[in-house]
Structures are given as C-alpha cells and as structure tokens.
Amino acid sequence: MKALTCMAVLAWGGTALAGEASPPKFPIGVSAALYDISVPPDRRPTPERVALGEKLFNDKRLSADDSVSCATCHDPKRAFTDGKATSVGIKNQVGQRNSPTVLNALFAATQFWDGRAGTLEEQAMLPILNPIEMGMPSPEAVVAKVKGIPEYRTEFQKVFGREPNYDDLASAIAAFERMQFSGNARFDRFLAGDAKALNASEKRGWALFNGKARCNTCHAGNAVSPLFSDQKFHNIGIAAHKQDFPKLAAEALKIVRTGDEKQIDELALETKFSELGRFLVTKNENDIGGFKTPTLRNVGVTGPYMHDGSLTTLWDVVDHYNKGGIANPFLDGGMQRLGLTEPEIDDLVAFMFALTADDFSQLEKQELARQRARKNIRPERDTAAALGKKGNLGDLAPNPNLDIKNPAELGLYGPVRSPEK
C-alpha cells in the first residue's frame, strides 16, 4: 500500500507545488466515481497535506511519552493493522477494541467499530487524546508540543499558511488516510473477466458467500460497495461471550451523557461498557452489542477478528456464524445456523483470502499458513448446532447454489474479456 501512496504522490507531479487536488490513480476494484462521492471537494488530498499527514501519522512525538504513533496500531506493513487482539497504547496499556484497518476507510460512512466519529478528521483527533492510546491531555497540549518542533512550524506554515492548530493537524492526517485505498486482489481480476484469477476452491467459496453461507447479507461486494460491508451495526453475539447485556445497558444509561464524545471514547476503550458497542453512541436499546460490519478487503491478513479480536482465524469466524452466533436478547434477526460442512468452510475461507491486495501477497502466504496450522484448534466449532441437531436459533439456511452466475458474466462489472468456459 505504501507503493500506491508513493505512486499517487508522483502522479501529481507538476501540480505538487501548486497544491491542487488532482485525482489519484486507483487500483482495480476501487471506483473513481465512488471516490468523488466519498471525498468532499474541500477535503481532496493535496500532495503537501498528504506528505505532512504521513509524517504526523508516523510520529511518536504526538503521544504523551513519545512511544506511540498512529502507525503503532495501524502499521502499513500489516495492511494498517497491528496483528494484536486489542490495541496497546502508552505505558503498554491495553484497550478494549481491535484496531481496524485504515485502508479504504475513506469510503466508510462512519469511523470506529461503533461509528462514533463521522469523518476521518474527527477520528484522527480522538486516539491522540485517549488516556490509554496516545495519552495527550488536551488539544492545546498537542498543539503546544507540535509548535515546539521547529520542522512542523515550517511545514504547517507551508501547507496551511499559519501556525499549527489541532484542526489542521487532523486535516493533514485525514488527507494521508484518504490516499490509503486498496484493491487489486485476485477477486477484482476475476470480476473484471479473468476467469483464471480464482482457483476452483475460491470459486466455490464465492458461490457459498452469496448463497448458503449468506455472507453477502451484510458483506456484499460490488462496484458501489467495494468495502464488502453494509456499514450498518449488528449484534452477532460476540460480546455475549462476556456480558449480561440488559444489566450492562441499565448501568450505562445512568452514566452516559448525550453528546459527550470524549466520554464515549473513553468508555469504548477503557471499560466493560465497551461491549455495548453502538448503544454507547445512540443510547438506543436496539443497538446494544451492535458493532459495524467490517470490510472484508485484506481480511486474510488483518486478523485477529471481531471488535475485541477474540477470534483468531477465519475458520473461527466461519464457525461462529455457522452455529448461528451466541444467543442473547439483542441478537441480530439475520443470524441463523448455516449447516456448512468442513469442505465448504475451507472453500469460504479460501475465497476470503482471495480478497487480499497484491501488495500483501507475501503476508497472505504467511497468514494462510499460520491459520491453517490452527485448523484443529477450533474453539467456536459446534457442528451439532450448525446442523440444527441441538439448540433453537432458527431454521437452517438452504443448500448452496453453486450454479449462481458470476456477476461479471452479467456485465455488472464491466466487459468480460475472457469468459469462463
């Protein structure tokens, strides 16, 4: 992904000094039209803002003890994640949430697992101030520290025409993040008409994804939905591993103050109330235990999975859905047992690894080998529940329809250059 950023900056070429916002080059699978819709004209990244934003993104001096930067939890080499179950901040403090990828975050309608930030700018501000992440005491303290670094005084003056302030700092980081898009996976080439881009197992997995496994209910991927996410919030039972939701919600209602973004941020990362998810933001009972549907792009290399990083492999993830999740009073109505067989689970996992961008092909090999080595360690596996032989979580899904057409054959994703025979 780093290479893409550099290519995009180079693509600006002669416009760099003028500071104009030229459209970047997009990898296959990322829509220029969607970029235009997602990025308001006044927030289009300029070369200068991106360069400053990248420097700030990687600068540990933005944290209270100079030990943590944005890149600590969003490492470009790991597809902008950290490989940990939950993020680790200053003084080795451990948070409650898994670090989501920054890749393609520009297309997300909301930021964070609970959607508590509406823009990348708002998202960039909160971790710097969170006590267990970067730990700075206030925006004023951040600005004072940045002003004390001579190079930043010069660069902010060059980019924004004024001394550093917190809004401009967040604007620069957001500009860098808006250049972190990811596509160019084997699946993208398959949709574009390269029938050989996916192997037989991955193709069976794609059919299952849209059929018996029902993944596309929330993770549909197409030209207008490149994230493989409906961007909605669902209680799939992950938090129910730990919490008594009704009791926890009653407690939370007494202490959560409407509109206090700082308090919500601290509750989300530091307390048992983290498990309430979207409810912390909306105070709506229907949102208890609800978390945003994550993107599936690069999912093979961005584990561990779920908002709390509690599932180690994609086999664990499929096992969780296969048994219908974990029963709780607020379980999403779309959850049901799937009845997937072991070979079908293997195919589904194979398909999800095909969503890895070419940039991370080496990391993909390492992660696939690591996850395969754990295939016999399956804490979420419950075949009897998945097949409907115990429990009462709903009817089994229908058998998979392996005759489902490749969308590329219907012309939905552009011309088919090499139709599969």
Which of the residues are catalytic? 133
DSSP 379-391: TT--HHHHTTSS-
321, 348 Cβ separation under 8 angstroms: no
Rounded to whole angstroms, how far apart are CA atoms 289 and 220? 22
Tokens linked to 128: 């710097």
Which amino acid appears at position 321 of this protein?
Answer: Y
Within 10 angstroms of residue 266's Cβ, the number of other Cβ atoms is: 18
State the greatest distance between any 2 C-alpha atoms of the chain, in Å, as a whole number. 68
Instruction: Find where tokens 């938090």 sit.
Output: 239
Residues with Cβ within 8 Å of 420's Cβ and at least 6 positions away in sequence, in order, are 195, 406, 409
- CA angle, 176 then 120 then 248, to 5°: 140
Partners of 290 in beta bridges: 277
Rounded to whole angstroms, how far apart are CA atoms 247 and 99? 27
Rounded to whole angstroms, how far apart are CA atoms 175 and 121? 9
DSSP state at residue 75: B
87, 100 Cβ separation under 8 angstroms: no
Rounded to whole angstroms, how far apart are CA atoms 150 and 64? 18
Q: Hey, is 324 helix, strand or coil?
A: coil
Tokens linked to 63: 């944290």
